[in-house]
Chain A
Amino acid sequence: MQDVSAISGNSIPADEPKLNYINNGHTLKSWLLTKDHKRIALMYLLSVSAFFLMGGIYAAFIRLELLTPASDLLETATYNKVFTQHGILMVFFFLIPAIPAILGNFLLPLMIGAKDLALPRINLLSLYIYWIGGIITLWALMKGGVDTGWTFYTPYSTTFSNSYVMAVGIGVFINGFSSILTGLNFIVSIHTMRAPGMTWFRLPLFVWAHYATSLVMILGTPVVAITILLVAIERFARIGIFDPAIGGDPILFQHLFWFYSHPAVYIMILPGMGVISEVIAGFSRKRIFGYEFVAFSSIAIAVFGFLVWGHHMFVSGQSVFAGLVFSFLTMVVAVPSAIKTFNWVATMYKGSISYDTPMLYAIGFLGLFLVGGLTGLFLGSIGLTVHLTDTYFIVAHFHYVMVGGQVIAYLAGIHYWWPKMTGRMYSEFWGKVSAMLVFVGFNLTFFPQFILGYMGMPRRYASYPEELQVLNIFSTAGASVLGIGLLMPVVYLIHSLFYGKKAADNPWMHPGLEWRTSSPPPTENFKEMPVVTWEAYDFGEESGLDIEEARRREAVTV
């Protein structure tokens, strides 16, 4: 290599890494008005992390309050606001945008070999909409907050609650359009921006997962937007269609709300599944087992996810027939998730696994998602759910899926692509420690809640009977471990920005297109339009990987 540049006398290779998307323009304006998907992703990373931190602080208050049976730390009314705001910030401002808007934005064009997303200005607009929605919501929280639960159930939210329902509702409404625009951008980009040779079945599964997610975003989010708008109108005009006193229908609210909000849990998990597919295939150095099945199971989850919303309403007055139908379909939607899990495990079987930090997170995901998914079947059974509904069993279930699934996948993804995003390597040692802490802390926090829920502890109460205290203490102790585990990456990742060693273009020796450009990538992503001649997850020499280098790397890590 050196010889070639010496002969040609060309000094460009030496200068090449200097200009990348981060140092290409230093003014604030060059960031705020950028159309570069990578910069937008970084700004999302900062904003979403801020919301995650705030949601986490609320979570800390919830766990501290529940340390003792009496409601002593917080008044019950304050407690209502705290858990509501924890839910709203986490669901609408962290879980939904986390992977699509940060990792998806950054990686999707790189993975399909495009210069940018198809609609860069719309992409920037979605960030601004996210900020506006977030600011309105934060303003409402400062003014006094909201206490309806993140679901805004009527008629409480429309008639009885004296908190800032409308302001928060409008914040969420506006924020919804941010995710609609992101989804729209992804769908268009995946359809039209693929590089030559990048056929649909050569797409990384991360892209497939984001395609499915985008479908849900586009087709589901507007429904919750109109529903929240109706709630706001009803509060404002003091009349509306959800008020049972005048013949309105609160169950209709639940239908409309869950039409989006159940598929929304797939918005919250599908991108995570995409990350896990990448990480597991990569660190097993093996083509993913049953690529087509994993790809289509993403689409299947997106479609079937729309058919099961009624399982949130088993005890709220829908007809028994509807309950049976929704219960049955809930069992059906478990199938594609199971397909994915089996295929990930089968991918690891006889793979040459290296236990880097992302892989540790991914393996943690497998176990936690399994527990979260299977307990979902308990709750989807129309008989059993009567006992378990609105208890801590549900709380534990969705935290296993949301935190054990999406948050852990998000961390896996951040660690996996951190070298690409920033050009720096983080401390592998601390990475592994944090992965372990998160896993242990998470289980300690939420596994006792399964038992608590089964014993009958209802959710959303600030106090509980004394005999449940031991398990609650376990849970709070676990939460502190989890909190430390989650704060550690903040420290060592920021540290790596300044003191981390420079990352190679392809530090993991993986075949994806995103690893075939410099770290961090230049503004236009690729020096030349890439032409794809290899299949997805092809770890052989045909895909142009330096096998010798990969072996050397493996020898060092093992």
Chain B
Amino acid sequence: MSDNHAEHEEHIGIPGYIVIFLILVVGTIFTYFSSFWDLDSIFPGANTLLALAIAFTKMMFVILYFMHVRWSSKTIWLAAVASFFWLLIMFAFTMQDYFTRVSGVFSA
């Protein structure tokens, strides 16, 4: 059991936490400035996609390192993945209605 604790304490140490912190700060600044670029001229929704990609990346760093999921048991992984999977279900199945409201998709 004490072995277990020693293993827990390792993680990434203070320098590691600082690095993660800096990544998060850079991500925030980047997402701030990127929102002023007109990426929608590349394809519609590119701005949204970029902003969400950055947010998702930041979230992954927080979850994996600050929340120690990287070193956690399979059950914890399962809980983390499952909750986002269910969120995805809610988004996907709600939006499949709204996406297909336009006339022409199986509608009269």
Binding site for B on A (CB under 8 A): 191, 219, 223, 251-252, 255-256, 259, 306-307, 309-310, 318-322, 324-326
Q: Which of B86, B89, B100, B108 contacts A322 (CB 8 A)?
A: B100
Q: Are A319's CB and B97's CB within 8 A?
A: yes
When A and B form their complex, which 9 residue pairs have the shortest distance between CB atoms, in order from nearest? A321-B100, A322-B97, A319-B100, A320-B106, A321-B106, A318-B97, A219-B86, A255-B94, A320-B107
Residue B83 is within 8 A (CB to CB) of chain A in the complex: yes
Residue B6 is within 8 A (CB to CB) of chain A in the complex: no
Give bound CA distance, A310 to B90, whole Å.
Answer: 11
CB under 8 Å from chain A, chain B span 49-76: 75
Q: Are A255's CB and B97's CB within 8 A?
A: yes
Binding site for A on B (CB under 8 A): 75, 82-83, 86, 89-90, 93-94, 96-101, 105-108
Nearest B residue to A249, CB-CB: B98
Q: Which of B82, B86, B89, B105 contacts A319 (CB 8 A)?
A: B105
Q: Are B75's CB and A223's CB within 8 A?
A: no
Give bound CA distance, A251 to B99, whole Å.
Answer: 14
Q: Which of B75, B83, B90, B107 contacts A321 (CB 8 A)?
A: B107
Q: Are A319's CB and B107's CB within 8 A?
A: yes
Q: Are A307's CB and B93's CB within 8 A?
A: yes
Q: Chain B residues near A251 (CB, 8 Å)?
A: 97
Would you call the interface of chain B mostly helix, strand, loop, or mixed? helix
Give bound CA distance, A498 to B18, whole Å.
Answer: 68
Nearest A residue to B92, CB-CB: A307
Q: Are A324's CB and B106's CB within 8 A?
A: yes
Q: Are B105's CB and A321's CB within 8 A?
A: yes
Q: Are B90's CB and A223's CB within 8 A?
A: yes
Q: Chain B residues near A321 (CB, 8 Å)?
A: 96-97, 100, 105-107
Q: Chain A residues near B94 (CB, 8 Å)?
A: 252, 255-256, 259
Name the distance in Å between A247's Cβ and chain B's nearest Cβ: 14
Nearest A residue to B90, CB-CB: A259
Q: Which of B75, B90, B96, B107 contacts A325 (CB 8 A)?
A: B96
Q: Chain B residues near A259 (CB, 8 Å)?
A: 90, 93-94
Nearest A residue to B86, CB-CB: A219
Give bound CA distance, A518 to B37, whole Å.
Answer: 72
Q: Chain A residues near B75 (CB, 8 Å)?
A: 191
Name the distance in Å between B96's Cβ and chain A's nearest Cβ: 5
23 intermolecular pairs with C-beta atoms under 8 Å apart? A191-B75, A219-B82, A219-B83, A251-B97, A252-B94, A256-B94, A259-B90, A259-B94, A306-B89, A307-B93, A309-B93, A318-B97, A319-B96, A319-B98, A319-B100, A319-B105, A320-B100, A320-B107, A320-B108, A321-B96, A321-B106, A321-B107, A322-B100
Q: Chain A residues near B108 (CB, 8 Å)?
A: 320
Besides A251-B97, A259-B90, A318-B97, 17 new A-B residue pairs in contact (Cβ under 8 A), listed by A number: A219-B86, A252-B94, A255-B94, A256-B94, A306-B89, A307-B89, A309-B93, A310-B93, A319-B96, A319-B99, A319-B105, A319-B107, A321-B96, A321-B97, A321-B106, A322-B97, A322-B100
Q: Are A310's CB and B97's CB within 8 A?
A: yes
Nearest A residue to B98, CB-CB: A319
Q: Which of A252, A256, A307, A319 contacts B106 (CB 8 A)?
A: A319
Give bound CA distance, A392 to B68, whole Å.
Answer: 53
Name the distance in Å between B101's Cβ and chain A's nearest Cβ: 5
Q: Chain B residues near A256 (CB, 8 Å)?
A: 94
Q: Chain B residues near A255 (CB, 8 Å)?
A: 94, 97
Q: Chain A residues near B107 (CB, 8 Å)?
A: 319-321
Nearest A residue to B83, CB-CB: A219
Give bound CA distance, A9 to B83, whole Å.
Answer: 58
Q: Chain B residues near A320 (CB, 8 Å)?
A: 100, 105-108
Nearest A residue to B97, CB-CB: A322
Q: Chain B residues near A318 (CB, 8 Å)?
A: 97
Give bound CA distance, A252 to B93, whole Å.
Answer: 12
Name the distance in Å between A62's Cβ and chain B's nearest Cβ: 33
Name the distance in Å between B104's Cβ and chain A's nearest Cβ: 10
Nearest A residue to B102, CB-CB: A319
Give bound CA distance, A321 to B100, whole Å.
Answer: 6
Q: Chain A residues near B82 (CB, 8 Å)?
A: 219
Nearest A residue to B79, CB-CB: A187
